[in-house]
Structures are given as structure tokens and as C-alpha cells.
Amino acid sequence: MELQVKTDIAERIASISVSSTMRVAAEAERLRAQGVDVVDFGAGEPDFPTPDNLKRAAMRAIEQNFTKYTNAGGTLELKQAVCERHAHDFGTAYQPSECLITVGGKHIIFNLTQALLNPGDEVVIPVPYWVTYKDVVNYAGGKCVFVETDEGQGFTLTAAMIEPHLTPRTKIVLINSPANPSGAVLDREEFEKIYRMTSRRGILLMTDECYCHFLYDSEPFSIASLPGAKETVLVAGSLSKTYSMTGWRIGFGLAPAPIIGAMLKLQSHATSNPTSIAQKAAVEALRGPQESVEIMLAEYRKRRDFIVARLRAIPGVRCSEPKGAFYAYPNIGVALKNGISSAMQFAEKLLDKAAVAVVPGEAFGTDRHVRISYATSMHELERGLERIHRFIVEQ
Ligand SMILES: Cc1ncc(COP(=O)(O)O)c(C=O)c1O
């Protein structure tokens, strides 16, 4: 009898899908390898090099043989640096015992959902949402409850939009401001209202602060700075975009100590510590000069102004102005005709016919938009927008 090897994949994996942003990157890479001149607006990744002082800190770490395991939850030095920077920037008062260092910002979101969600627990997520939220909540057995926002209002969220979606099963409300993919920024007063609404009910408020330093019209703010907020607020942080160090994989969480302890248990069996060398670079990032952040922000602002004006110049295309992060999220509904019936098909055809990579809105919960990352050079933006314009007009 023929041996049946049990290679069937676990059912829980079926509840998630491959990250569409990564799928677009892979497809663009494949075309490039074939010699196609692709303009890539897919990657959500700063085009600036990692600052030199961070690189030097990493090299020093290697030279000094800081190349072994560290504490699974990160070094005390880095936890202190995270708490200090958060206190300096936002006026919070976290202790290292309320901090966990993770393998990138994605990892803290994964850890938080794994540590907190029981089957059926509801997580309120505003739409459009960052692609990973849905999958990590599903993977943890939780239930996503999506809250629509209004494109006409720049996808901004209000407490009144969230309130009808809260139920006795709501465990977490997840906010990402500035948001990926829309660039929407939650008004401070509304954020505070949401905090009061959730904390009153014992609901946790998760704030993904991945883009918190990239704001065009307002000052950086953390909801965790409100008096008493530490009890119910979960901060998911990342150094990836702030310090242009996506490949180094350093993120962090700030949360009540028992939740940190639960995540540490999981992390100790899954990844152990984030890379020792990257942790040394992260300490330098947080304690060293901060000018690189300002320089990047000024450049992103120029690009934001260019891309919004350029997209609006395409007949029928609408684009709300991003107030933070580095993504534009235009409505390309006007091009959904002649055999293209979804943003997914639009993105496929655009890549195939015009060699421009964008991420289709389906990944973020809407089907008439695409995400364009403007963390790329002005030259690439000009070339890519020209191609998109021509593609839509000729469509
Ligand atoms: C909204 C948001 N949160 C978190 C992350 C995580 O970043 P990383 O895992 O690279 O630190 C990203 C990355 O694209 C993001 O867009």
C-alpha cells in the first residue's frame, strides 16, 4: 500500500491569507528579474538609508561580541530607551516591566492578539485597515468587527462611528493613526472620546503607533499619555519606519505588566530575543540624534503634495489628502470598466500593461481604491504617475 504522508496543512492556517503587500512585491520582483522596468509603489518602506549612527552602533555590537542571546523580551537597556523616548515624545510614564521588545511592529500585534483573544472575542477595526490586522485576529480565533469610515471626510474616524459596534464581546478597539493605507489621522479629541468610551466599558484600546512621527499638520500624540490610560491602552510600536530600519526588525509593546508577561511566555517559545545587534542599533536610534526623522518628514510632505495634485489631475480619480504616514489611497472607480471590475483586476492590469505596482484596496477592505506608497523618489513618482494617468485615460 502506498504511504500517505500527512502533509495536509493545519486548519488555522486556512483562516489567513498571504499578505497582499508582500504578494505585490513578489510579482514586481519577478517582472524586474525578467528585465521589465517596473515602477514600484507597493512597498511601505522608506527609501532613505538607515542613518549612519545606527549602522555604526550595530558594527560596534559585532566588534564587541554582542552577538549572543539576550533576554527573550529584549535587553533592559533597550526597554529603558523605549520607555524614555516614549516619555520624552509623549509624556507617558512606562517602566521596563511594562515593555516588550519584538521582532518588528508586526510581531507585537501578533503577540497581543495571541495573548488576549479567546474564540469569539470581538476586535473593532476601522476600514480601510492595515492588511495584517484581519489575519492576526482571525488566526487568534477572534472576530473582526469592521467600522466603515467616510471617504468624503478623508476616512477619519469618530467615536460615534465606533459606539454602535461595541458589544459585551468586544475585547479590543484597534486604532492606527496615522493610518495605513489612507493616511487619515484621528482627531485628538475624538481619540480621547474613544478612549473614554472604551475604558468605561473595560475594553482595551490598541493603538498602532507605527507612523506616529509622520504627521503633516498636527503634533505627535499618544493616547497612552492620558492619566490612567496605561490600564487599558496597548501601545504597538515600531522603529521600522521612524528610523528607516525595516530590515532590522525591531518593534515594541507597552502594556500592563501581566499582558507583557503573557506575551513574553509566547515569545520565549517562538522567536526568543530579537536580534542582539539590531537591539544595540535600536538603542542608538532612540537615544541618538533625531534629525533624520525631520528630514524624512519634510521630504514625504513634498511628495504628498505632488502625488495628491497629480492623482487629482487624472480625470475621474478622487484622492483625499493624507494627513500622515506615506500612502495615498485614491479612488480609481472611474477605471472599473472594459473588463476591469475590481481594484484587484485594476492593479493586475496596471502591473501587466503599464509596469506600475500598487496594492489593490481589497487588501484593506475597500474595492474601489489602490494604495500608492510615496516612500519612493520623486523621479519614480513622476514616472509612475505618468503611466497611471495614461493607463486610466486609455482604459
Ligand atoms: C500600520 C502598520 N503597523 C505596523 C507595521 C509593522 O511594521 P514592522 O513589522 O516592519 O515593524 C506596519 C508595516 O507596514 C504598518 O503599516
CA–centroid distance, residue 106 to ligand 1 (Å): 6
Atom of ligand 1 nearest to the CA of 238: 11
- Residue-averaged pLDDT of the chain: 96
Note the pLDDT of residue 14.
85
Note the pLDDT of residue 17.
83
Burial class (CB in 10 A: 0-12, 13-18, 19+), 172: buried
Note the pLDDT of residue 312.
98
Nearest CA to ligand 1 atom 15: 210
Please write the tens of the pLDDT for every residue from 43-61.
888 999 999 999 999 999 9
Please write the tens of the pLDDT for every residue from 189-238.
999 999 999 999 999 999 999 999 999 999 999 999 999 999 999 999 99
* 177 Cβ below 6 A of ligand 1: no
* 130 Cβ below 6 A of ligand 1: yes
Instruction: Say how far apart CA 349 and CA 338 lie, in whole Å.
Output: 12
Please write the tens of the pLDDT for every residue from 91-146.
999 999 999 999 999 999 999 999 999 999 999 999 999 999 999 999 999 999 99
Atom of ligand 1 nearest to the CA of 109: 4
| CA 174-178-181 angle, 5° bins | 85
CA–centroid distance, residue 2 to ligand 1 (Å): 46
Atom of ligand 1 nearest to the CA of 21: 14
* 106 Cβ below 6 A of ligand 1: yes
Please write the tens of the pLDDT for every residue from 325-354.
999 999 999 999 999 999 999 999 999 999
Could you give the percent of the chain with pLDDT greater than 70? 99
Which residues are within 8 A (CB) of 31 and not within 5 positions of it... i.e. 6 or more apart? 38, 351, 355
What is the separation of C-alpha 276 from the centre of its chain, rounded to a whole number of angstroms? 23
Instruction: Say how far apart CA 203 and CA 123 lie, in whole Å.
Output: 10
CA–centroid distance, residue 249 to ligand 1 (Å): 10
What is the full DSSP assignment across 209-264?
Answer: -TTTT-BSSS----GGGSTTGGGTEEEEEESTTTTT-GGG--EEEE--HHHHHHHH
* 248 Cβ below 6 A of ligand 1: no
Instruction: Say how far apart CA 307 and CA 301 lie, in whole Å.
Output: 10
Please write the tens of the pLDDT for every residue from 141-179.
999 999 999 999 999 999 999 999 999 999 999 999 999
- pLDDT confidence of 25, banded at 50, 70, 90? confident
Rounded CA Rg of the chain: 21
Nearest CA to ligand 1 atom 7: 105
Note the pLDDT of residue 27.
85
What is the maximum span of the chain, computed from C-alpha positions, in angstroms?
A: 70
Nearest CA to ligand 1 atom 14: 44
Atom of ligand 1 nearest to the CA of 130: 1
* 208 Cβ below 6 A of ligand 1: yes
Residues 236/209, Cβ–Cβ less than 8 Å: yes
Q: Which grid coordinates are listed for 260?
A: 507583557
338, HSE (Cβ side, Cα atoms, 13 Å): 9
Instruction: Say how far apart CA 143 and CA 169 lie, in whole Å.
Output: 9
